């Protein structure tokens, strides 16, 4: 199998062939390049990614994802209030509800807030019932500790 494109920075599978994370496609700030974005989108398509959830404030790259045949979701993560976090977790759940969806989530960089969203999703979706185990799992996957900001985003209990 011939692979095309360029792997996005920080690309990591959270749930193999189902949920992935990376830095912003094409880079961010002055590093963003249209050609790099196109190459990274081609690489994602080769990996089977069918949808992208951007947590950026602006709507950068959404049209490029759609032009590549991917579903594009936009949930700005501008604060870490419970309502905002729950909205993002619900969007992840909805996106992954469609059979065959392979979702990539990104911000400019893989920061504490993005790590918190991932750990929070594991609890929110009931894939992992224990918030401490969800924290440890994401720390292992991302190879970085989760700080207080990330930990504040993880639901502590889920109602039945």
4 within domain boundaries: no
158 within domain boundaries: no
160 within domain boundaries: no
Cβ atoms of 64 and 33 closer than 8 Å: no
Give the mean pLDDT of 124-130: 95
Give the mean pLDDT of 80-87: 93
Note down the domain range covering 19.
12-151
Domain count, the chain: 1
Separation between Cα atoms, residue 75 and residue 154, nearest integer Å: 17
68 to each of 17, 46, 64, 159, how far by Cα in Å?
Answer: 19, 11, 6, 38
* Backbone phi, psi, residue 53, to 5°: -110, 115
123 within domain boundaries: yes
Cβ atoms of 158 and 131 closer than 8 Å: no
CATH number of residue 143's parent domain: 3.90.190.10
132 within domain boundaries: yes
Question: What pTM, to 2 d.p., does this model score?
Answer: 0.92
Tokens 């062939």 sit on residue:
17
Quote the distance between the C-alpha of residue 111 and its chain's center: 11
Number of H helices, E strands in the chain: 6, 5
156 within domain boundaries: no
41 within domain boundaries: yes
3 within domain boundaries: no
Give the mean pLDDT of 62-75: 96
pLDDT at position 3: 56
Cβ atoms of 93 and 8 closer than 8 Å: no
């Amino acid at each position: 199998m011939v692979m095309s494109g360029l792997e996005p920075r920080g690309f990591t599978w959270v749930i193999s062939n189902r949920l992935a994370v990376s830095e912003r496609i094409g880079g961010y700030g002055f590093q963003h390049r249209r050609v790099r974005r196109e190459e990274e989108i081609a690489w994602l398509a080769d990996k089977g990614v069918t949808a992208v959830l951007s947590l950026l404030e602006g709507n950068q790259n959404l049209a490029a994802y759609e032009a590549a045949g991917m579903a594009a979701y936009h949930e700005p993560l501008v604060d870490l209030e419970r309502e905002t976090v729950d909205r993002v977790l619900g969007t992840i759940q909805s996106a992954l509800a469609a059979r065959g969806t392979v979702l990539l989530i990104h911000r400019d960089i893989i920061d504490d807030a993005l790590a918190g969203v991932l750990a929070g999703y594991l609890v929110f979706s009931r894939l992992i019932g224990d918030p401490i185990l969800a924290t440890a799992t994401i720390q292992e996957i991302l190879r970085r500790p989760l700080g207080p900001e990330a930990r504040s985003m993880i639901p502590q209990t889920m109602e039945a």
